[in-house]
Chains A and B, each alone.
Chain A
């Protein structure tokens, strides 16, 4: 987990063109991930987790959205590329081959009229140039690797013949078939029940132990991320508000939003006590973000938060927060970067 980053995202901005104006979905997201590392990305719906991942793989349809700024340097086997500037054709050698993706709903994410074996084989034929027979036996191997029993028979089955958890294993087999070094999993266990969720998480850990596979695991479930990630990004309003090692984040959260999230996990309070929640609603992303996105829901907000937008600033080694206020010391933090200001202030 040491050494050079596999992927370095810097200042990603993604916008959508809606009927009633521009939606500023991603407002400057920067992070990196090293080989073999597991990066958890948490945040509520609409915080920009999925859009960030789709942006990195060029899966935002050009008819609805565009990447307005940023770089995403990926160390591919053939040399470094900027994912945000690739053509559709160039992406063909990245998707599946370098970066595999697993989606949330395994039944709708698999082609219903194609056997799982062929869906795995497609990737092998495309990226490794394997023939029909070779790719089929490799597909059987992949099914065995992701823990499907009797893979040589199951390879000819269709997605509807598998259970939810088995389908997600098939999705992982598809994503990893051509041997990518990064797997992006977008809420892969959200549609599964808890025991199956644990099995899938265990499987991913096993697969990571076999190779230097880096994993970006997107979830709105802090519990899942706590059990899996090395490092965690907390997203809010299309920005990263806090980034820290997993233990550090849970023991010493710095951003008021992260604290709110942790406080609202059921089971941490007394039995029968009211569930904690964060008052207010997520921010509208209709305007360019020039103030702290969390300011109007934050109990620690000061005047400055409504005028200036704090940048993600290091607090200690490998722990950053985007907040002007130091909650523990009850005073403004020094040296917080200001990355935007409202005009006329």
Chain B
């Protein structure tokens, strides 16, 4: 009996895990924990930045406001309390989903954001789809045929996409495609037609980067030893290209796609303002112009939070696609 307990004891000890140690071992749990910590860091930094620029109450009132009015604002928003107390109150509010009230719209900032965000999300998602649908086949074709005309086209699109400013392109598209040729609407939202021009304009930067990255990844993977192994198995050229070259090459695209998607949310500020789309970008534009500091702060935190979530999704996706990351401690 004693020998049994002896042999069981070490296993039982390791079976009562330190929860922190378990989180550290699991790749996904570790990334989630990191993301939560990062989100708190972002909120604290945004909160502090506003206080570093001076008295937030004076930012919130009209320039000609007198000291009494400022003092009143200060009291309403609690700016007269110690900073640490303000921070804990604010963190408590954020955790319970209260990001403050907009000065301009006299409404909950979170509700404003939630009502505007879907439009922006659709715009960015469509732009991302445009970029991927054009860039991946072009990059693969270019990388698979180095020096051929298709490769020259891929390189040209890659550079052109990356150097074309989207705010300039959207104006050009409105003038030609919208006004002169009358093919697509020149502003607003509504049908899918309203999405084409702004999404395309928003996609070109990412498209350029994706083409270049896909092309160079394919070029690199083509020369890997495992591609030679695949050929030595007698696989058809197509099967080698699809299963061995393209799959491995696209792995390097995953991380960039996540980053580009969050850039697109930022890029939507110009596009939405120019194309008159009532999305999050336009809301931010209006908030900045009106010095609506609670709304600016809320949007900043929201976009930061979205970026962190996107990065998390990217990492999880990476882990699913690349077993080396999943297993590599």
Chain A residues within CB distance 8 Å of chain B: 57, 59, 88, 91-97, 100-101, 103, 105, 108-114, 119, 122-123, 126-127, 158, 160-161, 171, 174-175, 178
Q: Is the CB of B230 within 8 A of A122?
A: yes
Tell me, yes or no, whether B322 is within 8 Å of chain A by CB.
Answer: yes
Q: A108 with B236: in contact, given A158-B324, A161-B327 (CB under 8 Å)?
A: no
Given contacts A114-B243, A160-B327, contact A103 B233 (CB under 8 A): no
Q: Select which of B228, B251, B321 is within 8 A of A103 by beta carbon.
A: B228
Q: Does B224 contact A (CB under 8 A)?
A: yes
| Smallest CB separation, A78 vs chain B (Å) | 14
Contacting residues, chain A, for B230 (C-beta < 8 A): 111, 122
Q: Which of B229, B243, B321, B322 is A109 in contact with, Cβ under 8 Å?
A: B229
Interface contact A113-B228, CB-CB below 8 Å:
no
Is A122 a contact of B231 with CB atoms below 8 Å? no
Q: B285 to chain A: closest CB distance in Å?
A: 43
Chain B interfacial residues counted at CB < 8 A: 25
User: For the complex, what is the distance from the CA of A7 to the CA of B231, rounded to whole Å?
Assistant: 21
Given that A111-B248, A160-B324 are known contacts, is A171 also in contact with B229, CB under 8 Å in the complex? yes
Q: Mark B263-300, 1 if CB is under 8 A from A, else 0.
A: 00000000000000000000000000000000000000
Give the A-B pair count, Cβ closer than 8 A.
85
| Closest residue of A by beta carbon distance from B222 | A61
Whole-angstrom distance between the alpha carbons of A59 and B237 in the complex?
Answer: 12
Q: Quick check: is B14 within 8 A (CB to CB) of the other chain? A: no
For the complex, would chain A's binding face be called helix, strand, loop or mixed by DSSP majority? loop
Q: Are A91 and B321 in contact (CB under 8 A)?
A: no
- Residues A92 and B226 in contact in the complex (CB < 8 Å), given A113-B321, A158-B323: no
* B247 contacts chain A at the CB level, 8 A cutoff: yes
**A88–B232 CA distance with the chains assembled, in angstroms:** 11
Complex contact A109–B234 (CB within 8 A): no
> Is B83's beta carbon under 8 Å from chain A?
no
Asked, given contacts A103-B225, A108-B225, whether A113 binds B231 with beta carbons under 8 Å apart, the answer is no
- Some 7 contacts from A to B, beta carbons below 8 A apart, are A95-B233, A103-B232, A105-B225, A111-B226, A112-B322, A112-B324, A126-B235
**Chain B interface helix/strand/loop/mixed:** helix
Q: A114-B243, A161-B327 are in contact. Are A108 and B224 (CB under 8 A)?
A: yes
A88 CA / B235 CA spacing, docked (Å) = 10
* Partner pick for B233 among A105, A113, A174, CB 8 A cutoff: A174
Is B215 on the interface with A (CB-CB < 8 A)?
Answer: no
Chain B residues packing against A (C-beta within 8 Å): 224-226, 228-237, 239, 243-244, 247-248, 251, 321-324, 327-328
Give CA–CA (A105, B228) in the complex, Å: 12
Q: With both chains docked as a complex, state the minimum distance between the C-beta of B235 and any C-beta of chain A, in angstroms.
A: 6
A residues in contact with B239, CB < 8 Å: 122, 126
Contact A122 B233 (CB under 8 A): yes
Is the Cβ of B225 less than 8 Å from the Cβ of A109? Answer: yes
Nearest first, the 5 closest Cβ-Cβ pairs linking A and B are: A96-B234, A95-B234, A108-B225, A96-B233, A101-B232
Question: Which of B231, B232, B244, B328 contacts A111 (CB under 8 A)?
Answer: B244
For B228, what are the chain A residues with a Cβ–Cβ distance below 8 Å? 59, 103, 109
CA distance A311 to B258 in the complex (A): 63
Nearest CB in chain B to that of A108: its residue: B225
Specify which chain B residues have a CB less than 8 angstroms from the CB of A111 in the assembled complex.
226, 229-230, 244, 248
User: Please, which residues of chain A bring their CB within 8 A of the CB of B225?
Assistant: 103, 105, 108-109
- Please name all residues of chain B whose beta carbon is closer than 8 Å to the beta carbon of A59 when the two chains form the complex: 228, 231-232
Q: Quick one: given A112-B324, A161-B327, are A123 and B233 in contact (CB under 8 Å)?
A: yes
**Given A160-B324, A160-B327: A110 and B234 interface contact (C-beta under 8 Å):** no
A97 touches B234 (CB 8 A): yes
The answer to whether A110 and B226 touch across the interface, beta carbons within 8 angstroms, is: yes
Contacting residues, chain B, for A97 (C-beta < 8 A): 234
Bound CA span A285–B322, Å = 42
B232 — nearest CB in chain A belongs to which residue? A101
A127 touching B234 in the complex, CB below 8 Å, given contacts A111-B226, A111-B248, A171-B229: yes
The minimal Cβ–Cβ distance linking A90 to chain B, given in whole angstroms, is 10
Q: Which of B236, B244, B248, B324 contacts A92 (CB 8 A)?
A: B236
Whole-angstrom distance between the alpha carbons of A92 and B322 in the complex?
A: 29
Report how far A103 CA is from B226 CA in the complex, Å: 10
Q: How far is it, in angstroms, between the C-alpha of A94 and the C-alpha of B234 when the chains are bound?
A: 7
Interface contact B247-A113, CB-CB below 8 Å? yes
Give the complex CA separation of A322 and B91 in angstroms: 86
Q: Which residues of B contact A171 (CB under 8 A)?
A: 229
Most A C-beta atoms less than 10 A away, residue of B225, B229, B237, B327: B229
**A175 to B229 Cα, complex, angstroms:** 9
Residues of A within 8 A of B234 (CB): 91-97, 123, 126-127, 178
B235 partner, pick from A57, A92, A100, A110, beta carbons under 8 A: A92
Q: Chain B residues near A95 (CB, 8 Å)?
A: 231-234
Among A57, A109, A175, chain B packs the most CB atoms within 10 A around the CB of A109
Instruction: Flag if A174 contacts B229 (CB, 8 Å).
Output: yes
Chain A contacts for B251, CB-based, 8 A: 113
Q: How far is the CA of A298 from the CA of B55 in the complex (A)?
A: 90
- Which residues of chain B are near A88, meaning CB under 8 Å? 237
Tell me if B236 and A113 are in contact (CB < 8 A).
no
Given A96-B234, A101-B232, A105-B225: A113 and B248 within 8 A (CB)? Answer: yes
Known pairs A103-B232, A113-B247, A161-B327 / 7 extra A-B pairs, C-beta < 8 Å: A59-B231, A94-B234, A101-B232, A112-B248, A119-B229, A122-B243, A123-B233
**What's the minimum C-beta distance from A158 to chain B, rounded to whole angstroms?**
4
Q: Which residues of A contact B324 (CB under 8 A)?
A: 112-113, 158, 160
Instruction: Report the minimum CB–CB distance from A240 to chain B (whole Å).
Output: 23
